[in-house]
Structure 1
Amino acid sequence: MPTNETIILFSKRKLTKLLFFSVGYGLLGLRQIVKKRPGLVIDKTGFTDYSSGLAAGHVSWSDVRGIKIVSLPGHKQRYIAIILKNPHAYLERQSSALKRKAMTLNLRKYGSPVQLSDTSLRCTFDELHYHLQKHFDRSRPYVLN
């Protein structure tokens, strides 16, 4: 006899992954709250990122090819992708295999393993983008035509 309902069960594998990543990122977020250091430092040499579980650490302006804004399809959240001259060098220096894998996915999807967001920072997205772009532009040699 045909039924009018469809039952779809939970995927234990998917829920386990979700729980693992949620707990992992929750612990990383808690660590960021407890530590008394800034989320991001931008200066003439580059920037040092402590803002998330995928924080890249120090990125030199000499390693940066460009800065672009990326959006996730269907989401309002925007990110700043730091386009690197040699992104694999930044992947190789990551000590955590999980972090390296997540950054590799960012590289494949958005063209860079280094993504910055205002989510955990005390600034707006536009302020973050402005300061990064300003310091990056200042690090470039002037070209006179």
Structure 2
Amino acid sequence: MKEKIEIPLSKTKIYLIITGSLLFVAAGIWLLFNTNLYVDFPLKLFRNPMIIKGAGILSILFFGTIGILQIKKLSDKEPGLIIDSSGITDNSNATSVGLIEWNDISDITTKQVMSTKFLLITVTNPEKYIEKAKSGIKAKLMRTNMKMYGTPLSITSNTLKYDFDELEKLILTEFKRNKNVG
């Protein structure tokens, strides 16, 4: 590959994620202060005020974190993804670690959870990339990915100005091309 392919972040998609996060935070706050509304709920578990408050708190914490991370991403001027002869430089999500070198990649597979598709980037030395994490939370998220999927690295098009199927084709083509070179 001679040229560098840069895929920008999609501000529209980021704003949509922020809006969704705010709605879930609002729902969490509502659950937190309206636990008595579920006394007639058919499932006994969901009549328990502690369960309802717990769900509200988890919603606030989880979606609040996602919202904050996306707000930070709005001011990010770097491209979401760069694909060149060195590898894939990922700046698309919370667990992005920068450059993933072609020589380190052993496999690329697609996984779908619910309606979200993502590429799993399997590397020969996962610890090398987990150590690149800039925070303990990021490293913990990457270790969770490692336990669930066998690799700490994943790429989605959720925040990119690019269709997932096209992204998948592009990355797989460049992986094959650059694996044959090295």
TM-score interval, smaller chain: 0.7 to 0.9
Show CA shifts across 1:121-145 (max 9, x none): 1111111111111111111126xxx
Gaps of 5+ in 2: 1-39
Deviation at 1:60, TM superposition (A): 0.5
Q: Matches of 1:15 and 1:112 in 2, distance apart?
A: 31
Show CA shifts across 1:24-59 (max 9, x none): 221221121112221111111101111111112111
Between the two structures, name the one with larger relative contact order (CA 8 Å, sep ≥ 6).
Answer: 2
Percent identity of paired positions between Structure 1 and Structure 2: 28
Equivalent in 117, 135, 138 of residue 78 of structure 1: 117
Deviation at 1:66, TM superposition (A): 0.8
Deviation at 1:111, TM superposition (A): 1.4
Deviation at 1:10, TM superposition (A): 4.0
CA distance 1:139–1:14, change in 2 (3 Å): same
TM-score normalised per structure 2: 0.69
Listed as ranges, the matches of 1:1-145 within 5 Å are 6=44, 7-11=47-51, 12-13=53-54, 15-72=56-113, 75-141=114-180
Greater Cα shift, 15-24 or 88-97 = 15-24
- Secondary structure of the equivalent of 1:81? strand
Q: Matches of 2:97 and 2:62 in 1, distance apart?
A: 18
CA distance 1:28–1:112, change in 2 (3 Å): same
- The structure carrying a bigger helix percent of its residues is 2
TM-score normalised per structure 1: 0.85
Query: Residue type of the partner of 2:92?
Result: S
Deviation at 1:77, TM superposition (A): 1.2
- Alpha-carbon RMSD across the aligned residues, in angstroms, is 2.0
Deviation at 1:89, TM superposition (A): 1.4
Aligned residues: 138
